[in-house]
Amino acid sequence: MKSEYDVVIVGAGVIGLYTAHHLARGLDPRRILVVDRSTLALGASGRNGGGVRQQWETVPTMNLARESVHAYRRFAADFGYNPWFRQGGYLFLAFSETEVASLRKVEAIGRGVHLPVRWLGPREVQRCVPGINPSGLQGGSYLSSDGVILPFPVIWGLAASLRDQGVDIQLRTDVQAIERSGGRVTGVRTSAGSVRTSRVVNAAGGWSSEVTAMAKLLPHTHPTLHEILATEPLTPFLDPMVVTLRRGVYFSQTMRGEVVGGMTLDHGPEVRGMASTPRFLFEMSRELVHLLPRMRRARILRAWAGYYDDTPDGLPVLGEEPHLKGFHQANGLGGHGFMLAPAATRLVAEGVLEKRSDQDGKPFAPDRFGNGDAPRAMERLQLG
């Protein structure tokens, strides 16, 4: 670690590493520092379900997702690490009229931007997911180019490429303070010493609100504990990622054959620490067996948990803070940071480099929280 850098990125998850990757094209890579308090892939980026989808309720998010899918299709060839991106589709299921209506809306918005989202009737759903419980099923929206990815190789690929280019990745080092003076960032203090810099990127994921607070700003994000499980590896039988709107249950089959799935669970303040809970094991088993009854005799192999950061309007926070020059947010990606990473971090990097972007980053800019009004645009297709 040197004593001065052009930019310091807090967090070496997929967001921090991808941001560094984009920045290394516009800056001297040796002048970029990525700091993480733990080792690689111990944050959410090493704990997620690898779901990659483009079906959203708002066009700006859809655009981020689409660009990211393109990046992931090329990832193996570009980085030499294979994340086995498998485009088996995403299938959102509807069990009520309201759910049909909101998924029909996704279909329409998708078509508006030339994403061929299709509506599947109950029969087609049953063909697509062999053994699905048909009771109450009204149909679902399906996009075949969505898919699942193995998160780890993405992290290794990015880290190896950054290392080769000369970017410093400083692990097991805690960022403890953001130094500022006169409305500008001047440096960061870490457990391994202080570093001078005029630009900081907050890519601290589930801990992003703490880092924002270190800069003496009001946080826009809050941490959410999310749990997930994997079954024993089964031979291939399930192509798409299957999602229900009610309770946000999702499951898919990885390239290793495991069925990996999670659901939205509101944990009270009782539950702390990054560990699984019995409650999740029981409720998730119940949901999975209800949706796919034949899974009752498949075994759970492991369950784990991770933290990500949510925002009040369901949109990520990307870009420079209006009241602190040089402090760039790259967080608030909720349960979808992996699938949006390549494009979301491109916007962040362009902000850092003060480049004009081809995409309108406004809906994601931190100034939307400016005067306490509830932000207008809302992305409600939040799951997992």
Partner 1 sequence: MDRDHRITISVNGRRVSARGDRSLLAALTHEHLPVLTRSLKYHRPRAPFCGTGQCTGCLVRVNGEPSVRACEYLPREGDVVRTQRGWPSTQHDLWALFDRLFPRYLDTTHGFTRPAFLRPVYTRFVRRFSGQGAVPDDAPGPLPRPLERETPVLVVGGGQAALSVASELVRMLGPDRVLHIGHPKRPGLQHSLLFLRPPVRGVFEAVAYRQGEPALRLQSRAVVLATGAYDASLLFPGNDRPGVMTAEGAETFASGEDGPPFRHALLFGAGPRAVEMLSRLKGRVALVATPWEATPELAQEATRQSIPLHPGQLLLSAEGPSGIQTAVLKDRRSGATTPVSVDAIVLAHRRIPHAAALFQAGALMQWRDDPGAYFPVLASNGATSVPGLYAIGEVAGSGFGAFPEEEAHRVAQSVVAQLEGGKESAPEGAPSEGPVPGATSSPGPECPMLSYYRDFLRERPQSKVMLCACEDVCLDEMEGVVREGWGGLEVAKRISGVGMGLCQGRYCVPETMLVLSLLERRPPSEIGTITQRPPIWPVPLGALAGTEEGTP
Ligand X SMILES: Cc1cc2nc3c(=O)[nH]c(=O)nc-3n(C[C@H](O)[C@H](O)[C@H](O)COP(=O)(O)OP(=O)(O)OC[C@H]3O[C@@H](n4cnc5c(N)ncnc54)[C@H](O)[C@@H]3O)c2cc1C
Query: What x/- string results for residues 254 through 273 when contact with partner 1 is judged by CB under 8 A?
Result: -xxx------------xxxx
Closest CA to 245 of 38, 31, 95: 95
Tokens for 69? Answer: 């899918």
290 lies in the binding site for partner 1 (CB under 8 A): yes
Residue among 20, 24, 29, 45 that touches ligand X (CB under 6 A): 45
H/E run at residue 80: none
Tokens for 104? Answer: 């029909």
Q: Under DSSP, is residue 179 helix (H, G, I), strand (E, B) or coil?
A: strand
226 lies in the binding site for partner 1 (CB under 8 A): no
> Measured from the CB atom, is 232 or 367 closer to partner 1?
232
Are residues 145 and 89 in contact, defined by beta-carbon separation less than 8 angstroms? Answer: yes
Stretch that binds ligand X, among 37-45, 56-64, 356-364, 366-374 (CB under 6 A): 37-45
Residue 24 is given by DSSP the state T
Query: What x/- string results for residues 114 through 153 when contact with partner 1 is judged by CB under 8 A?
Result: -----------------x--------------------xx
Roughly how many angstroms between the first and final C-alpha of the chain, as a whole number?
Answer: 36
231 lies in the binding site for partner 1 (CB under 8 A): yes
Residue among 153, 240, 306, 342 that touches ligand X (CB under 6 A): 306
Q: Out of partner 1, ligand X, none, which partner does residue 204 contact, by CB within 5 to 8 A per kind? A: ligand X
Q: Under DSSP, is residue 378 helix (H, G, I), strand (E, B) or coil?
A: coil
**Alpha-carbon distances, residue 125 vs 39, 91, 140, 141, 148 (angstroms):** 41, 8, 7, 9, 19
Residue among 7, 8, 9, 10 that touches ligand X (CB under 6 A): 10
Sign of the C-alpha dihedral, residues 304, 208, 25, 51?
positive
Residue 355 is given by DSSP the state P
Stretch that binds ligand X, among 7-15, 72-80, 157-165, 280-288 (CB under 6 A): 7-15
Tokens for 238? Answer: 């399930």
Residue 8 is given by DSSP the state E
H/E run at residue 208: helix 208-214
Q: Under DSSP, is residue 265 helix (H, G, I), strand (E, B) or coil?
A: coil
> Measured from the CB atom, is 207 or 327 closer to ligand X?
207
> Measured from the CB atom, is 183 or 293 closer to partner 1?
293
Residue 305's Cα: distance from chain center in Å? Answer: 15
Are residues 383 and 106 in contact, defined by beta-carbon separation less than 8 angstroms? Answer: no
Q: Out of ligand X, partner 1, none, which partner does residue 77 contact, by CB within 5 to 8 A per kind? A: partner 1
> Measured from the CB atom, is 103 or 339 closer to partner 1?
339
Stretch that binds partner 1, among 56-64, 203-211, 240-248, 285-293 (CB under 8 A): 285-293
Tokens for 320? Answer: 């420079």
Positions that interact with partner 1 (CB under 8 A): 38-42, 46, 73-74, 76-82, 84-87, 131, 152-153, 156, 160, 163, 231-238, 255-257, 270-278, 281-282, 285-286, 288-290, 293-304
Positions that interact with ligand X (CB under 6 A): 10-16, 35-38, 42-45, 47-51, 174-175, 203-207, 211, 226, 228, 262, 306, 308, 331, 333, 335-339, 384
